[in-house]
A = this chain, B = another copy of it.
Amino acid sequence: MKLGRLNHIGVATPSIEESISYYRDVMGAGRIRDPFEMEEQGVKVCFVDTPGENGTFGTQIELIEPLGEDSPIHGFLAKNPAGGQHHLCYEVEDIDEARSWFEGLGKRILGPTRIGAHGSPIFFLHPKDMMGQLTEIMETPKDDTHWSN
């Protein structure tokens, strides 16, 4: 497998509204996308853009707030009430090839390949098999406008 772009860093937060103020008013973020709900995943998400080199598109921050009582984010926030870094997401060229690669290495994959927040297929790998990092693998989105919303 060939390591692709670090698409985003997932950051859990008790309040996306508060996080938006933080990234805008404290960190000076230039562009923050509209938040949206992903009911099946039990999360509300919001992407903050960071600039890449030479005017390119940099790694995003994905803000994640729990949605509903069964949200997987409640456990994380119970341990980290202020929120914090939750996962890393890397791009790959071909999601099926990447899945076979990690399966062949005996890495635990968390659930089926599904469509993620960027409209592109993704899966997650168990942090205990990934040196302590909850890792998301995403097929590079075909639309290079980066799904504006």
Which A residues have a C-beta under 8 Å from some C-beta of B? 1-6, 9, 11-13, 18-19, 22-23, 26-30, 50-54, 56-59, 61, 80-85, 88, 90, 102, 105, 107, 127-128, 130-133
Contact = CB atoms under 8 A, between A and B. Distances in A.
Contact of A51 (B5, B11, B13, B83): B5
Given A53-B52, A57-B53, A58-B52, A80 B1 contact: no
B88 A9 contact: yes
How many copies of this chain? 2
B22 A58 contact: no
Contacts of A29: 3
B58 A131 contact: no
Contacts of A53: 5, 52, 56-57
